[in-house]
């Protein structure tokens, strides 16, 4: 069972191997890092600890209030628990933490969690002005008396797996590539919101998703999706965008047509898993053209989902 702490420990914990990072998305590279962390901890018969931060440091520094993070806090916690790590230590990222040098941070951590070792990625940077990198970080760990191991990045198609790359692929609508980088589909979760019932008026009742505005959205367009609802999975067609045909405004919506489904689900929790990009968002001059396109979208989504994408 994974134990969770949301601030510095109030008293000293047992010795542990620790990794530190933002872990936004918990992608294949993060998973490999944590896997090796757990192996080192088991070999030394100590705990494994993932130390992370909330909010995301970039959100704190740049005041990124929308369309950036790849997981909200609860999602990140759930994904880290799935790795099997013994403990998650999530520190509140604030000005005090931002002002700490790498040596100050690791010294404090080592007092509260006697470190058997630190395991980080090759590109890892810690502390004020990112002073704890490479050899500088190694020297700090040597002075404090524990090993520091840098793990090479995971490559996919010859390129490093990273959160930055995932954001870039989402901007391009390549959700099938994102799924390979994550080891699972990219998803958005939230409660189903009452909408203006435009879809129902066209004969296609849709579910609008309440989503965290800080969450990164895929490129505006239409996607084949798998939708989790009340323990069941349904095929879906999901539109991400501003509904240009109806000129609904600039704030994006995530609107899903569930295939072979006709129930009232307002207020219920729904998870939309993005499987395949189908087409761009288009403004139609004639409503019938939109209706015809939605019928085609249903056909295209069924085809994409049946092929196992």
Q: Which helix (H) or strand (E) holds 169?
A: helix 163-171
Which residue matches tokens 């999530």? 90
Is the pLDDT at 201 greater than 60? The verdict is no
Q: Domains, the chain, ranges and CATH?
A: 3-160 (3.40.50.620), 171-306 (2.40.30.30)
Displacement of CA 105 from its chain's centroid (Å): 26
Q: Cα(182)–Cα(257) distance, rounded to whole angstroms?
A: 25
| pLDDT at site 64 | 78
User: What three-state secondary structure class fits 239?
Assistant: strand
Displacement of CA 150 from its chain's centroid (Å): 23
Query: Integer distance in angstroms from the first to the last C-alpha of the chain?
Result: 33
Q: Where are the alpha helices (DSSP H) in 15-157?
A: 28-43, 57-62, 73-82, 95-98, 102-112, 134-144
Q: Cα(172)–Cα(123) distance, rounded to whole angstroms?
A: 25
Q: Give per-residue pLDDT as tens, 61-114.
A: 988 778 999 999 999 999 999 999 999 999 999 999 999 999 999 999 999 999
Q: Give per-residue pLDDT as tens, 134-148.
A: 999 999 999 999 999
pTM of the model: 0.94
Q: Cα(179)–Cα(266) distance, rounded to whole angstroms?
A: 28
What DSSP line would sit under 287-302, residue for residue? HHHHHHHHHHHHHHHH
| pLDDT at site 144 | 98
Q: Cα(269)–Cα(186) distance, rounded to whole angstroms?
A: 17
The residue ranking higher by pLDDT, 79 or 262, is: 79
| pLDDT at site 174 | 98
């Amino acid at each position: 069972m994974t134990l969770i702490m949301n601030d510095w420990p109030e008293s000293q914990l047992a010795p542990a191997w620790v990794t530190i990072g933002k872990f936004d998305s918990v992608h294949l590279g993060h998973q490999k890092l944590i896997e090796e962390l757990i192996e080192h901890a088991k070999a030394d018969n100590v705990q494994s600890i993932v130390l992370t931060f909330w909010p995301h440091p970039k959100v704190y520094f740049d005041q990124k209030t929308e369309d950036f993070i790849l997981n909200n806090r609860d999602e990140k916690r759930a994904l880290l628990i799935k790795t099997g790590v013994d403990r998650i230590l999530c520190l509140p990222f604030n000005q005090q933490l931002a002002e700490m040098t790498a040596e100050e941070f690791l010294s404090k951590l080592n007092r509260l969690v006697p470190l058997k070792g630190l395991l980080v990625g090759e590109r890892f940077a810690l502390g004020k002005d990112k002073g704890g990198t490479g050899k500088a970080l190694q020297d700090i760990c040597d002075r404090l008396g524990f090993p520091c191991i840098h793990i090479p990045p995971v490559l996919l198609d010859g390129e490093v797996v990273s959160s930055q790359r995932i954001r870039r692929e989402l901007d391009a609508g390549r959700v099938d590539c994102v799924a390979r980088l994550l080891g699972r589909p990219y998803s958005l979760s939230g409660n189903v919101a009452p909408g203006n019932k435009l879809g129902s008026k066209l004969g296609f009742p849709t579910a609008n998703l309440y989503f965290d505005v800080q969450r990164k959205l895929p490129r505006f367009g239409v996607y084949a999706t798998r939708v989790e609802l009340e323990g069941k999975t349904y095929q879906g067609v999901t539109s991400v965008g501003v509904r240009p045909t109806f000129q609904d405004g600039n704030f994006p919506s995530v609107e899903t047509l569930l295939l072979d489904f006709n129930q009232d689900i307002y207020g219920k929790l729904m998870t939309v898993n993005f499987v395949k990009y189908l087409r761009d968002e288009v403004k139609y001059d004639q409503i019938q053209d939109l209706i015809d396109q939605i019928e085609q979208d249903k056909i295209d989504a069924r085809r994409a989902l049946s092929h196992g994408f």
